[in-house]
Structure 1
Amino acid sequence: MENNLVTAFQDNWITLGVSAVLLALLYFMAKKRVGFGTRVLVALGLGLVAGVIFNNFQLKFEGVGTIGSIYVSLIRMIVIPLVFVLVINSIISITNIAFLKKIGIKTVAWFLGTTGVAAIIGLLVALAINPAGTFEASQPEGFEAREVPSFFQVILDLVPSNPVNEAATGKVLPVLIFALFIAIAIVKVGSKKPEAVQPVKALFASLTEVLHQVVKFVLRFTPYGVYALIAVMAAKYGLETLKPLATLILVSYIALIIHFVFVFGGLVAFVGKLNPLRFFKKAYPTVAVGFTTRSSYATLPINLEVITKRLGVSPRIASFVAPLGATMNFNGCGGIWPAIVSVFVASVYGIHLSFTDYILIVAVSIISSIGVAGVPGPASISTTVVLTALGLPLEGLAMVVAVESLIDMGRTAVNATGTTVTAVLVANSEGELDREVFNSNDNDELELNPA
């Protein structure tokens, strides 16, 4: 017994020593300003190699696992305060009630509706082609599977009876609903007595800035957390951990392409009564810049040019829809991705998802897409919110975060194109779409410069 303890102690120091060197390498890359996505991929590779070595030499790795657990705890730490504050701040930023009712409701409805459809597509594709395959991992120590509630219990759980207690126990949905009530009340009171809600608005604006910084702090730990969590998983299961990753990328792009072609194309054709092929041709600069920059904000200047000069949307509609879309329209990041990851994580850890869980995935994806507006790493935050609502292990994030940079190109292109589609649909419904401009070839060679 004593010899086993000594061996385990020595093994942990060996694995921690190796990990310290590799983590120092990741830190050095950060100091040299190597791209975040590159560092996460390197962390994945280092974690796999180290984990396979630990596995081959049968070394203990509890110490390395502690590093990964710290990262997961930091993610859990920010979920509830983040979504509560950001949902409120996103809604109260709209001050013109008349404009909100006329244009804003349509815009937000299209954003959230298409995100819900995206989540359904992600679910269906993931269920049809299980991204985890036959790979299974043991559930994290101390994990307790959430009891599957009935449909009516889910409805009841949406109603926040004690928001403070529900926040303390990690119940995301009632906290989100409570935040919606607070935000709508602030907007309502502000429409009659602007001075009465000004301090509250300033408070939430300030809290938003502070939480953005907290998120940045936590995200800086991502490469180190990915290394530790992947190393532990590879140490347990060897090279088997590699197999699901290629399938996950394939499943994600299949879902993204289906949503891009059939949902966007269908809306343009049947709701907008426009030629979808012409739309895709004219929207190509937005798609290309979104795919290559992986940033909705970087795509915004191009998208404004495309929406107004190539598609014929009035500047009044474009100036409202495009900036709002860059901050809260996440068909790819907030709809498709969390749904696929939920199925992936549940499959990896052998947790059964019921039909009620599938409804929850779609509902939480829609609501949380409001809450992550403008947050660094919105896909990771949305996915964390959905996994938390389902009671799934957040440890499963390590594998998916490691390949996110490869999938993020497609996700951002879908996000940006979704904003373009919404601008066209809203302008068409308001009679502010110039169909001559849309159907004209004169502006197809318009010079668009991302700078």
Structure 2
Amino acid sequence: MTSFGAQIIYGLIAGLILGLVARSIGGENWLATTLTAIGSAYVGLLKVLIPPLVVTAVVTSIANLRQVTDAARLAWQTLLWFAITAFVTVFVGIGIGLLMHPGRSASIDVAAAAAPGSIGSWSAFIQSLVPSNILGLDLWVRGSGDNLSVNPDFNVLQLLLISIAFGIAAVKVGKDAEPVLGVARSLLTIIQKVLWWIIRLAPIGTAALIGKAVAVYGWETLGSLGSFVLAIYIGLALVIGVVYPLVLKFNGLSIAQFYRKAWPVTSLGFASRSSMGTMPVTERTVVGALGVPRAYGSFAVPLGATTKMDGCASIYPAIAAIFVAEFYGINLGLTDYLLIVFVSVIGSAATAGTTGAIVMLTLTLSTLGLPLEGVGLLLAVDPILDMGRTAVNVTGQALIPTIVAKREGILDEELFASDRTAASAEG
């Protein structure tokens, strides 16, 4: 039987071919429409599981952490390694930006400059931490009159905080909370079974998502921003091909084994452009294939999916800020570069539950005092960049729980070294 990793690769190849065919047909053709529908349906299936997975996994993991020595130390080590890797990757981004000077070679029309609709801010981040309701649910009202629609959207950071609070409360209550914890464990088992069925569809979903991307954007979208796109992808390649392998090597873990098992996570992140949509697969891979204890992995993965974004929060804003400064003829000093590092290491959580990289970029630009209109210059290529950014994000979200578990002596190294993958980890 063909391995799951090979099936994903076949899906990527099939998607590329289908996308090229759809683009050659041109217009809103049936193939492009079909690819879009299948890809959106697959990401939708994954996202449906996010709220119940976060709640049941976090509540039960906190209860199970009673059985894990130094649970507080695990949480601290997770946040520390989030910061360490963000610190290194933002310097990679700054280095690439200073070497390649993407803003000097851009021939984009200044008329493309436009302020974004949503802007990241520290005050908005603090306000977003306070749940507006017990479900962590935001209601977005669109349109007016007969066209009025209300669209529910879960704020995953709020949902995470609510789940942590309930989990800690359940531990403090003791025996009286056991029935509730039993229900949570049972629901988690059912959710994981459904998740396994969805994971098996990943090659099809990947093919549709890649096909859609090729059909919609193609190479023409790169236009005059080719040097900027190249700079971003060189930075992302250095993170996923150099920084992360060095972290694995430093912690005594096999680089090849990690990437072989994390491949479904990386590829689905690339295709779906959604850390949240990939999170169920990330959690299953970390626990079922990489050997991280469920009690810890079920807590660390949702936390990483909301706050660990090396692609969106480190590489991209660093290079983009240099691009905008060069485009407008503004010189950045040492203090400005230190501010970029600070925002990347501390501020990535400010993008949680929002449109990730764009909000993070506006937060960086506003902190540096650079024109926010510069964001509009980069929007044309953002979908292409978002694929690589998300692939790096989700790979880092799988990496950190693995190395923390290894450092703390709780990693199942026999499982890590085995041939078991997320797709075969049923149960």
Aligned to 1:290: 269
Change (3 A) 1:421 1:135: closer
Distance of 2:360 and 2:233 partners within structure 1: 18
* Alignment map for 1:225-304 (pairs within 5 Å): 244-270=224-250, 272-304=251-283
Aligned to 1:347: 326
Q: C-alpha deviations, 1:266-289, integer Å up to 9, x for none?
A: 11111x211111111111111111
Aligned to 2:297: 318
* Alignment map for 1:320-335 (pairs within 5 Å): 320-335=299-314
* Residue of 92, 96, 101 corresponding to 1:121: 92
* Alignment map for 1:179-258 (pairs within 5 Å): 179=126, 201-202=130-131, 210=138, 213=140, 244-258=224-238
Change (3 A) 1:207 1:383: farther
Q: TM-score, normalised by structure 2?
A: 0.59
The answer for unaligned runs of 5 or more in structure 1 is 1-31, 36-93, 141-169, 184-200, 218-240
1:424 equivalent in alignment to 2:406: no
Which is higher, the Rg of structure 1 or of structure 2? 1
Q: Is the 8 A contact 1:171 1:389 kept in 2?
A: no
Amino acid of the structure 2 residue aligned with 1:338? P
Change (3 A) 1:398 1:214: farther
Deviation at 1:397, TM superposition (A): 0.6
Deviation at 1:361, TM superposition (A): 0.6
Q: Is the 8 A contact 1:136 1:349 kept in 2?
A: no
Aligned to 1:362: 341
Deviation at 1:213, TM superposition (A): 3.8
Deviation at 1:429, TM superposition (A): 2.4
Distance of 2:380 and 2:34 partners within structure 1: 18
Q: Is the 8 A contact 2:288 2:422 kept in 1?
A: no
Change (3 A) 1:340 1:305: same
Deviation at 1:103, TM superposition (A): 2.2
Q: Is the 8 A contact 2:108 2:224 kept in 1?
A: no
Aligned to 1:380: 358
Runs of 4+ aligned structure 1 residues displaced above 6 Å come to 32-35, 94-100, 136-140, 214-217
Q: Is the 8 A contact 1:137 1:348 kept in 2?
A: no
The answer for unaligned runs of 5 or more in structure 2 is 1-32, 37-60, 112-118, 149-220
Deviation at 1:423, TM superposition (A): 0.9
Aligned to 1:391: 369
Distance of 1:405 and 1:138 partners within structure 2: 19
Q: Is the 8 A contact 1:360 1:390 kept in 2?
A: yes
Distance of 1:321 and 1:33 partners within structure 2: 36
Q: Is the 8 A contact 1:249 1:403 kept in 2?
A: yes
Amino acid of the structure 2 residue aligned with 1:112? A
3-state SS, counterpart of residue 320 of structure 1: helix
Distance of 1:287 and 1:332 partners within structure 2: 12
Aligned to 1:108: 79
1:338 equivalent in alignment to 2:309: no
Distance of 1:214 and 1:125 partners within structure 2: 41
Distance of 1:214 and 1:34 partners within structure 2: 29
Amino acid of the structure 2 residue aligned with 1:435? E
Deviation at 1:395, TM superposition (A): 1.0
Change (3 A) 1:347 1:378: same
Amino acid of the structure 1 residue aligned with 2:238? I
Q: Is the 8 A contact 1:132 1:244 kept in 2?
A: no
Amino acid of the structure 2 residue aligned with 1:106? Q
Distance of 1:438 and 1:298 partners within structure 2: 24
Deviation at 1:95, TM superposition (A): 9.4
Deviation at 1:202, TM superposition (A): 4.8
Change (3 A) 1:378 1:424: same
C-alpha RMSD of matched pairs (Å) = 3.9
Change (3 A) 1:268 1:298: same
Q: How many matched pairs?
A: 287
Deviation at 1:404, TM superposition (A): 0.8
Change (3 A) 1:353 1:206: farther
Q: TM-score, normalised by structure 1?
A: 0.56
Distance of 1:215 and 1:101 partners within structure 2: 42
1:132 equivalent in alignment to 2:103: yes
1:404 equivalent in alignment to 2:382: yes
Amino acid of the structure 2 residue aligned with 1:419? Q
Q: Is the 8 A contact 1:136 1:348 kept in 2?
A: no
Q: Is the 8 A contact 1:115 1:331 kept in 2?
A: yes
3-state SS, counterpart of residue 386 of structure 1: helix
Distance of 1:372 and 1:95 partners within structure 2: 25
